[in-house]
Each structure stands twice: as structure tokens, then as C-alpha cells.
A = this chain, B = another copy of it.
Amino acid sequence: MAERKREKRDPQQRRAEILAAAFACFSERGFAATRMEDVAARAGIAKGTVYLHFPDKEALFTELVSGIATPILGQIDGLAANEAIPPRFAISMFYTLFKREVLETERRHLLRLILAEGPMFPAVTEFYHREIISKGLGVLRILLARAATRGDLRNPAIAEVPQIVIAPALLSIVWTTLFEAYEHLDTQNLFDAFLETLFVPEGGAK
């Protein structure tokens, strides 16, 4: 039954398969509860093979969470570059991007993983702060400052606390991965209502 034949692979491809399997396992069971054998089985290989590609469980985990994040980076700071884009539109795009690329994909589990396992892996937390949070806040700071000078913000003071923009995104992640089963949250509505609260209504800007 399901006789698994030995099969050589391109190392890159094998690596990717292991990472994909590891992602699935870690996502649904957490770091501690995931067994290396589970990962191997999911990747369709033997346990020992995993160790040909990653030194140990922790390395597999950290490489995984670091690797998945990087691709998103490019998209983010593209938003601040073009000064012609109205700040409100840019932040709206930020939410849309977040929704489409994270919240509604398997990547949302990655974020939960970082929230959950972060304290156990300071290196991962530090990496995320440096590469994602810090850069994201930088972009938001620019956008909010621009919005403030244009008179687009109902409360210009929030330009000093760009974390506020992240708050609904964080909430949506936590809600959908914890409470969605008990009570639905309309994230689109959440983001829309929040944007409408931050920015003065249409026609209010000069």
C-alpha cells in the first residue's frame, strides 16, 4: 500500500518541499507539538532526509518563518514611493494587500505562529521587528505625515502613532484564527469603517 519508492530530487526542490510541509505542520500544531517525523511524512520522505537539509528542528523553524516573510517586503514600500498616490488610497491599498496576501491565504497562520512562538525565539522576533514592523511603520509614518499636512486626517495627532494603523490588521488576524468559529468578523467592514474614521470624508480635503 502506497509503496514509497526512493526518489532523488533537485536539492532546491526538496528543500522547498520540506519547508512547505513544515509550514503546514507548524501552522496547525505549533512548534512543540510538531514532530520531525510528521514533517517528513508530509513531505513524502523519511525523517533522516530532513536532517540532510536542515541542521535541526529549530533551524527549520526559524528559516521557515524568515523565508516566507521576505517576498511581501517589496510590495509594501512601493506604496510610499509614489508621492502622487493619495495617502488614504495608499493605506486602503495596504489593507487590501494585507487582506488578499495574508489574511485570506495560509500566510495568516505564519503570523499567528510568530505571535505564539515569538517569545521562545528572540531571533525570529527581532528579525520580524527589524525587517517587517520597523519598515512598515516607516512607510506608514511617511504616509500619515503627508496626510496630516494635506489636512486629510480627522485627528492629525495619530501621525505620531502609526501603530494605530496596524491595530485593525492585527485584530483581524487574531480574530479569524481564534474566534471566527464562534462569531464572524467582517474584516472588509472593519477596515472600511476604520479608514473612514481616520480620514476626513470625501470633499473635506482641500
On A, residues with C-beta under 8 Å from B are: 29-33, 112, 115-120, 125-126, 129-130, 133-134, 154-155, 157-158, 160-161, 163-164, 166-168, 170-171, 174-175, 177-179, 182-183, 185-186, 189-190, 193-194, 196-198
Q: A116 CB to closest chain B CB, in angstroms?
A: 4
Interface pair B167/A30, CB less than 8 Å apart: no
B171 adjacent to A166 (CB under 8 Å): yes
The CA of A94 and the CA of B7, in the complex, are separated in Å by 60
**Is there contact, CB below 8 Å, between B197 and A154?**
yes
Number of identical monomers bound together in the oligomeric complex: 2
> Main SS of the interface on chain A?
helix
The answer on a CB contact under 8 Å between A126 and B32 is: no
Q: Which residue of B lies closest to A159 (CB)?
A: B193
Given known contacts A126-B182, A133-B179, A157-B193, what 7 new A-B pairs fall within 8 Å (CB)? Answer: A30-B32, A155-B196, A161-B186, A164-B193, A164-B194, A167-B171, A170-B171
Other-chain contact of A120, B30, B126, B155, B175 (Cβ < 8 Å): B30
B116 x A178 contact (CB < 8 A): no
